[in-house]
Chain A
Amino acid sequence: MKHKELIAAIADRTNRTQEDTGNLLQTAIDILTSQILEDSVINLQGFGSFELKRRKERLSVHPATQVRTVIPPKQTVNFRQSGVLKVKLKEIPSHE
């Protein structure tokens, strides 16, 4: 589902115009990202939580040249699905 399809689907449900929904979604996402970047945990009930996580620095060895490289630490946005969503996902028929 692309961004526009998402907007269309939400607009359908909330009886708003697509433009309106688009703007609202933009604001909502801006708030979400800014909160994430301020290092707070955003917990969306029934869906999951967003959090900044720090990945430690590590040593990698190039398999062909055997050159060892220090990969610096980095921070990423981590999403963790909620238990409720997990249970719902379990009901999906298994992988083909």
Chain B
Amino acid sequence: MSKLKINTSDWIDLLARQADVSKKDAGDFIKALLTVMEEALLAKDSVRIKGLGTFRLQWNAPRKSVDVNTGEDIIIDGYYRVAFTPDAELRDLANEPYAHLEAVAIDEIEEGQKVKKEVDDSGEIPLKHFDEQVTEIKDILSEINALNHTDDDTQQDSGKENTEESVAGEPAAETVVDQVADESDDVIEQIVDKPADKKPKEKRSKSKDRKKQKLRAESMLKESKSKKRESSDRKGASEKKSSVLSDFEEKARKIPASKSRRLDLIFIGVLAGGLLIYLAVDHKIFTTISRYIESYRIQRELAPSFEKPTTSPESQDFDASQSDFGPDESVSPVEDKSHDIGQSQADDLEQLFNQARSYHDFIATEEVIPGSRLTRIAERHYGVKEFWVYIYEANRDILESPAKIEPGMLLKIPRLNPVLADKDNPRCIEYALKLQEEYLKD
């Protein structure tokens, strides 16, 4: 297909005929037009002609290339080139044959299905997750133990002691999962605390990373477990346990072992300190604690089905007991003071988590743009994407599910309690993740 070609003289002819001027005048005019445009462009100016478009210079940067014949690297100099942008009017006229066509998103439906699938995948029972994680960790640990068998016999010894101690401390109602978790907790700490000057094995470091992630989840399990333990052998074993522990501490102090062992002992000491706190408190306000544990257990059991944390009468009671709890604990004779503070802070958090959240104070209102996600918005406002759950909670009235966020929605961004949404506190993030799991399940 050959197009009709029109050159400058044809243009001049047409102009002369239509504008009713002589050919010479028309020619002069066109020549003047072209020279003026050229001069302007050579002076790096842009030329705009109404009804046609804009001519301007575009700089093409120098670039590397390869000489086709010699294969040598050459540099192509930068140069200017005239770029033309048609006016909107001309552009639309030119595009008239295709103007009725519109951009079509071809996989909107597939996208929706994908989101659903993801939700289904993540909608498992949290306990099952823990089970899987525990077995996984156990596998990894056995591998590591096999690797390190020769060079840390001493560590293994102390680990064994530790497990023995903990087994002795919890005689009866201990499930298999708990034991496994307990064991792995101890050994995990050993590995994490181990100084880096030892032979760095790739496998170990890799698993270390993985474990650090899991540690977060584990700590939750650990907590619940220690509480359970407390309740199960509160009456009988408490005396015995404390004596065992103090014995152990003495032993720990006696051994002037290597650096790695010292780290182990520090960890064990911290663990023992924590238990002592529990026991001391246990003696003093036995009844309130038992009530607290009851409510905690109930909440744990209800956890898979809960929609939103609400203030039940139990937690009201528990609040009251907490206020008793505070001063008592601070008076209690404990050597590890920092640990003590950490504990009470953690309990405050627990309290905060269990309170019903209501949102009245909003930082901003945001209109959802295409491609936006709750996590993105959360990251922008709170700095941590995990806190999207709170935005979701504040917008339950318009959001059916977290996935059903659509462009044009007006989301209210709540002002969060700085203690609740503390991005430096792993427990806050952990709690947000727990909420996330709940919401994604729906």
Contact = CB atoms under 8 A, between A and B. Distances in A.
Contacts of B38: 46-47, 85, 88
Nearest to B84: A79
Contacts of B102: 72
A25 B82 contact: no
Contacts of B101: 72-74
B19 A24 contact: yes
Contacts of A62: 370-371
A31 B18 contact: yes
Given A65-B370, A69-B105, A86 B33 contact: no
B169 interface: no
Contacts of A13: 32, 35-36
Interface stretch (B48-56, B199-207, B385-393): B48-56
Nearest to A40: B4
B440 interface: no
Contact of A69 (B35, B79, B106): B106
B29 A24 contact: yes
Main secondary structure of the interface of B (DSSP, over half): mixed
A41 B6 contact: yes
B111 A10 contact: no
B33 A38 contact: no
B7 to A, nearest CB: 5
B97 A44 contact: no
A51 B84 CA distance: 12
Contacts of A95: 59, 61, 78, 80
A75 B111 CA distance: 31
Interface residues of B, number: 70
A68 B105 contact: yes
Contacts of A38: 4
A59 B104 CA distance: 10
A21 B371 CA distance: 51
A65 B371 contact: yes
Q: Which interface residue of B6, B21, B101 has the most chain A CB atoms within 10 A?
A: B6
Interface stretch (B87-95, B142-150, B309-317, B320-328): B87-95
Contacts of B42: 88-89, 92
Contacts of A23: 19
Contacts of A10: 29, 32-33, 36
Interface in A6-55: 6, 9-10, 13-14, 16, 21, 23-33, 35-48, 50-52
B274 interface: no
Contacts of A30: 18, 51
Given A3-B50, A40-B3, A69-B105, A76 B91 contact: yes
Contacts of A79: 53, 55, 82-84
B29 A92 contact: no
B4 A41 contact: yes
A29 B105 contact: no
A39 B97 CA distance: 12
A77 B91 contact: yes
A24 B82 contact: no
Contacts of A25: 29, 33, 49
Contacts of B152: none
B3 A41 contact: yes
B107 A67 contact: yes
Interface string B8-44: 1001001100110100011011101111111011101
A89 B39 CA distance: 11
B7 A45 contact: yes
Contacts of A36: 90, 94
Contacts of A32: 11, 52
Contacts of B83: 79
Given A67-B105, A77-B84, A86-B81, A43 B8 contact: yes
A9 B47 CA distance: 12
B267 to A, nearest CB: 45
A10 B80 CA distance: 25
B103 interface: yes
Given A13-B36, A74-B98, A89-B82, 10 more contacts: A24-B15, A24-B21, A29-B52, A31-B18, A38-B4, A41-B3, A73-B98, A79-B83, A92-B44, A92-B80
19 contacts: A1-B47, A3-B50, A6-B49, A9-B36, A13-B35, A13-B36, A14-B29, A24-B15, A24-B21, A28-B33, A37-B94, A40-B4, A65-B370, A72-B102, A75-B95, A79-B53, A88-B38, A88-B42, A92-B80
